[in-house]
Structure 1
Amino acid sequence: MFVAGAAQADQALKEPPIFAPLVESGKLPPMKERLPKDPFVVDFEKESKTIGRYCCQLVTLLGSAKDIRMMTVYGYARLIGFGPDYKLRPDILESFESEEGRIFTLRIREGHKWSDGEPFTSEDFRYFWEDVANNEELSGSGIPQVLLSNGKPPKFEIIDDRTVRYTWEDPNPAFPLGLAGPSPEYIYMPSHYMKQFHTTYNDADTLAKMAEEGGYRNWAAMHTVKGRQYRTENPELPTLQPWRNTTDGPSKRYVFERNPYYHRVDPNGQQLPYIDEVIILTESVDIIPAKAGAGESDLQARYLHFDDYTFLKQGEENQDYNVLLWRNGVANQISLYPNLNVSDPEWNKLNQDVRFRRALSLGLNRDEINQQLFFGLAKPGGDTVLQESPLYKEEYASAWTDLDVEAANKLLDEIGLTERDSKGVRLLPNGKPMELIVESAGESTEETDALELIRYHWEQLGIKVFTRTLQRDIQRRRFLTGETIMTISKGLDIGLATPETNPEQLAPVSPSQPNWPKWGQYTETGGKAGEPVSLPAAERLLELYNWWRQSTNVDQQEAIWAEMLEIYSENVFSIGVARETIQPVVVDKKLQNVPADAMFAWSPTAFFGIFRPDTFWFEE
């Protein structure tokens, strides 16, 4: 049983100044009444933090209105979450108890409230389970995968107003990890707010009229958009995060105000966060490094790359910021994903042929890319766990990554691609030239520059490479519909994996995976959409993933991970280029409690999340 930190905090300290007038006028209860009876007390000594002061706005830059979801990532308030030591512990919850890896009891903090002051109770879990997850109109794809074990849902019970229990027939180790993720699985909703949009609690005709007036397709679409907790587009939606959105979008400027009912405090009993407002300015991705270098962001890492470091460093003195160099926790900074579900039959056959993927990998001059893009500071290698991971083996990182043009050409000849046109470009079996289009979201100059080198490398194999830049949402739609042959992007978010980490990225489980989107869609929807896995190695990965989903034995989980990593690297399901890179982080010199050295990763760190931005504060 895990019980949250219970150090007793003095709750008689002064109010955050921004709330003092509201408290004095009676519009807001005093801090002691707003906090849970036992708030989460952040261990400043263990986390090497200093006591801060209330004040100010923090400004950061994001590439689009949709990226306001990063506030949920950075805020990182979770039912249970990872601490800076990468261990899970209760956060929003008072306690989290696991029995046999299949029975999970969740207990809410006494007196915990949503950002609008309404109680956070078991009813919010019941509403999600009965009225959303099990409602076909709201959950057409079925119950979320993290709530299934061996394909079966749990038994849900309300024990009391503060306690709920989920019981599966088989173990479900993915459940706690899903709650702690950077994009968490929400198993609760603010029911007091959401019921006004649900047909169970309102007249269907009234809701239909509301949906029509709001420009929604139907009541279900209205409910979905109004209730998004990850991408907080609805300013009226109550939240449990440290800051709440106050801006109707789309907008170039979003204001997130402190949550007056937030559940964390510092060791002196001061309610967090210290910072009153977070201002998000949306800008073109291309100019964010320049704006960060001009001092227009107080905290910036997203959209910054190693090749921006020299420029950013030059601005330190004049613009009053520091450039920190964090280690990048992604498995590979640049990876290529052949789409094994591409619609074109010729390319589909090639992409599914392991000899083709190996040939492409052997044909890359990773040392040249490392020198040109990363000044030799990265490590050439495949898309697999980093050395910091206990699962790391050198053979995973080096599999099919040594430059060997002769061996690569031999593999392509072996496939039967022996015919060439007058320019030396190989011909597909249908007689067309091998013109490989690699699609990019265009958010990284590193990817663009790498593609120029890759274009030359693969010309030595008789493959003509073209590139296409698309918006990320369009890019994802294209690879899911089978229009994309290959995608370039960051590598897998498994760099820091442990045996207890969910190995879902190594198996076809989601339509957002660019290397097997239709197979992933089939898994995610339980066969309602997509295509069944048809490649033996991928079938084995899915089988191993399902075994891991039923295991609570760490040794067994480690063995599963080892086999999955071996299969993935040997089959080159993604083609990694550069590993262990550096992430520049621009930090205003007055901003305190930001670690000088840390790991920047989607999972498990949630980028800044586990370092608790609610404890960041500005010196005068």
Structure 2
Amino acid sequence: MVTRRTFLGLLASTVLPQPLMAADVDNEPDYLADWLRAGQMPHLAKRLPKFPRIVSVAAMGGTPGRYGGSVRTIIGSQNDIRFMTIYGYARLVGYDRTLSLQPDILESFSAVNDTVFTFKLRDGHKWSDGHPLTSNDFRYWWEDVILNKQLTPGGGALELRPHGNLPRFEVLDELTVRYSWDDPNPDFLPSLAAPQPLVILGPGHYLKQFHKKYQDSIRLSSLIQENRVKKWQDLHIKMGRAYRPENPNLPVLDPWRNTTPPPAEQFVFERNPYFHRVDENGRQLPYIDRFILNISSSAIIAAKTGAGESDLQATGIDFNDYTFLKDAEKRYPIKVNLWKMARGSRVALFPNLNSADPVWRDVLRDVRVRRALSLAIDRHEINMAVFYGLGTESADTILPDSPLYKPEYASAWISHDPDQANALLDAAGLDKRDEDGTRFLPDGRRMEITVETPGESTLDSDVLELVTDHWRKVGIALYTRVSQRDIFRSRAMGGRILMSLWYGLDNGVPTADMNPGELAPTMDDQMQWPLWGMYYLSRQTQGAAPDVAEAAKLVKLLGEWETAASSFERAEIWHQMLAIYSDQVFSIGLINATLQPIVHSARMQNVPEKALYGFDPTCYLGVYMPDTFWMKEDRPNA
């Protein structure tokens, strides 16, 4: 049986045009002129694969562009240079704007029953340093990274061993590799298309110098000392980390490559001369020569953006900055678009079912309490006061943009009904109150909930101020605690947080073939059940097993999804999980389908006016291909 994925992969490989045999001089970026004159790199026809990926810009609603320009953007910390690998969105397979998978770095792929995956590379594709990309780069990563117990002591990423064992890996020829499992692994392709993709290849020709198997021990010791790490494994990881591209010498396949070693206050990414995509006119993408990332305090990114200091800004700004940014259009040559956020909820409350406080833990595990907390909230007031009525009152669930959407998931326990909330709290044994009307916990303490937040947006504090009033009316006192994101996450994972305020589901627009793991305890940073998530993540060696029946059922269903043989079966499992998750109110969603400002220079072309915005699966700007954005006039490259 050949699955739909096989058909899509093969179809994509059949519509490629004839090889690009000669390069028009006009199709060479001026930015590369000095290298070309000096003979330091070949001309376009020899830099591109024999069959490059042809991107029809016009078919995407844009216009084919011109080369040139530097784009400034602002980031909140050095770690945020990872946005360039998300925005660039070069993947073996990736999503298009309809969230269908298609070959990207790969020329084609096939998947048989989601057990046997065959990948074919593009003949002549090269890393950013000009070295050929071949099946040897897959072989290196498999044999010398994944199977090396010192580099990969855990046995490999969970996406590679969903049933406990790694796949069989085969090199079929110089351009073709195959991964085979005995049981279906439907998450394999989506994990390769993810914002932080599963890594199954690396530039072996470069990384071997940091590997004990290939490098002289004296030279390796020198490199370890030079890079201030303790052992060769740390050296290899540091020098080979592609997702956060801190090593300017690491060959990449992205549209832009980092040229700045950290630490720095400004990072410059320049065009990859060997990037594998071209437009319909044969012009190599990206159009834009350079991205300049300036580090600034997160608190003033919106102000700097509104002052015209960014040519493209999506992160560090929020909906509550919209009126300020829109007003800035009158003073600076910028344009503000509004994209729909693709998360399950713009803000959601996460009662910690693994709280270290045993009394609160028992209270929060009572579904009547979670339902009551949700029913007590007046979402309409929050929508009108904070989002100007432009959001949608909803549980923390998927959006109508997903083919899996059902209205009953969104409406579960969200009607503003203080009477029903009071009745549920009374039925849960929380019927005793003090003279101020605040309820008592079973041990006699006042029912005071501290909601913790990283405090990165005034929008969050505005929402919590309203929820405080709503919960007071049903006898619950709410207090807010703000801490830095790293501390906040650490406290949540340690069970020291009673309840958190954070974003809802990352992926609010899933298809049946996308992993539903967010709906089950699978990660240690899930704030409603971090210990249960750690138990799953560690293969039952750390944390604790879920001891709430519905949470355990979600884990069981996830296991069934991972072995399902068809999209139909996977859709049925998704629906079961969505129904349980929303009915059990494991997270308390408030408002979704809110709008995210996207600010760009008025000179920048091909930025969609409306689109979906989220981390997963759209990779923020990634699926809208910033390599096709272009500037009407050059900004000096100085």
Tell me the CA shift for residue 421 of structure 1.
4.1
CA displacement, residues 307-350 of structure 1 (integer Å, 9 cap, x when unaligned): 22211111112201111122221121111111222222222222
CA displacement, residues 531-569 of structure 1 (integer Å, 9 cap, x when unaligned): 222221111111111111112312211111111100000
Residue 519 in structure 1 maps to residue 569 in structure 2? no
Match 2:624 to one of 607, 611, 614: 611
Q: Cα gap change, 1:353/1:215 in structure 2, threshold over 3 Å: closer, same or farther? A: farther
Q: Cα gap change, 1:239/1:540 in structure 2, threshold over 3 Å: closer, same or farther? A: same
SS in 1 for 2:58: coil
8 A Cα contact 1:303 1:444, kept in partner? no
* Aligned mates of 2:220, 2:489 — CA distance in 1: 32
Aligned twin of 2:3: none
Cα RMSD over matched residues? 1.7
Aligned twin of 1:495: 508
Describe how 1:160-559 pairs up with structure 2 within 5 A: 160-203=173-216, 207-208=220-221, 210-559=223-572
Match 1:70 to one of 83, 99, 103: 83
| Unaligned residue ranges in structure 2 (runs of 5+) | 1-5, 634-638
* Aligned mates of 2:114, 2:459 — CA distance in 1: 42
Amino acid in the other structure paired with 1:34: R
SS in 2 for 1:614: helix
Identity percentage over the alignment? 47
Match 1:12 to one of 18, 23, 29: 23
Q: Cα gap change, 1:10/1:52 in structure 2, threshold over 3 Å: closer, same or farther? A: farther
Amino acid in the other structure paired with 2:401: E
8 A Cα contact 1:96 1:106, kept in partner? yes
Tell me the CA shift for residue 363 of structure 1.
1.2
Tell me the CA shift for residue 141 of structure 1.
3.2
Amino acid in the other structure paired with 2:203: P
Q: Which is worse superposed, 219-228 or 197-206?
A: 197-206
8 A Cα contact 1:10 1:269, kept in partner? no
SS in 1 for 2:57: coil
Q: Cα gap change, 1:486/1:203 in structure 2, threshold over 3 Å: closer, same or farther? A: farther
Tell me the CA shift for residue 19 of structure 1.
0.8
8 A Cα contact 1:10 1:268, kept in partner? no
Q: Cα gap change, 1:389/1:22 in structure 2, threshold over 3 Å: closer, same or farther? A: same
Q: Cα gap change, 1:139/1:409 in structure 2, threshold over 3 Å: closer, same or farther? A: farther
With normalisation by structure 2, the TM-score equals 0.94
* Aligned mates of 1:425, 1:203 — CA distance in 2: 70
* Aligned mates of 2:605, 2:187 — CA distance in 1: 35
8 A Cα contact 1:142 1:525, kept in partner? no
Q: Which is worse superposed, 322-331 or 405-414?
A: 405-414
* Aligned mates of 1:414, 1:11 — CA distance in 2: 77
CA displacement, residues 405-437 of structure 1 (integer Å, 9 cap, x when unaligned): 222222222222234445443333333333322
Match 2:166 to one of 129, 146, 153: 153
* Aligned mates of 2:312, 2:286 — CA distance in 1: 16
With normalisation by structure 1, the TM-score equals 0.96
Describe how 1:26-105 pairs up with structure 2 within 5 A: 26-105=39-118
8 A Cα contact 1:365 1:457, kept in partner? yes
Tell me the CA shift for residue 48 of structure 1.
1.8
* Aligned mates of 1:255, 1:369 — CA distance in 2: 41
Q: Cα gap change, 1:203/1:483 in structure 2, threshold over 3 Å: closer, same or farther? A: farther
* Aligned mates of 1:519, 1:313 — CA distance in 2: 44
Q: Cα gap change, 1:482/1:268 in structure 2, threshold over 3 Å: closer, same or farther? A: same
CA displacement, residues 173-206 of structure 1 (integer Å, 9 cap, x when unaligned): 1000000112211111111222222222235575
SS in 1 for 2:500: strand
* Aligned mates of 1:217, 1:357 — CA distance in 2: 47
SS in 1 for 2:481: strand
Q: Which is worse superposed, 116-125 or 462-471?
A: 462-471
* Aligned mates of 1:212, 1:347 — CA distance in 2: 49
SS in 2 for 1:81: strand
Tell me the CA shift for residue 514 of structure 1.
1.7
SS in 2 for 1:527: coil
Tell me the CA shift for residue 278 of structure 1.
0.4
| Unaligned residue ranges in structure 1 (runs of 5+) | none
CA displacement, residues 504-547 of structure 1 (integer Å, 9 cap, x when unaligned): 11111122222222222221221233222222111111111111
8 A Cα contact 1:212 1:218, kept in partner? no
Tell me the CA shift for residue 213 of structure 1.
4.3
Q: Cα gap change, 1:440/1:617 in structure 2, threshold over 3 Å: closer, same or farther? A: same
* Aligned mates of 2:526, 2:240 — CA distance in 1: 25
Amino acid in the other structure paired with 2:294: L
Q: Cα gap change, 1:211/1:468 in structure 2, threshold over 3 Å: closer, same or farther? A: farther
Match 1:138 to one of 151, 156, 163: 151
* Aligned mates of 2:214, 2:98 — CA distance in 1: 44
8 A Cα contact 1:141 1:528, kept in partner? no
* Aligned mates of 1:564, 1:364 — CA distance in 2: 24
* Aligned mates of 1:565, 1:280 — CA distance in 2: 39
* Aligned mates of 1:358, 1:319 — CA distance in 2: 48
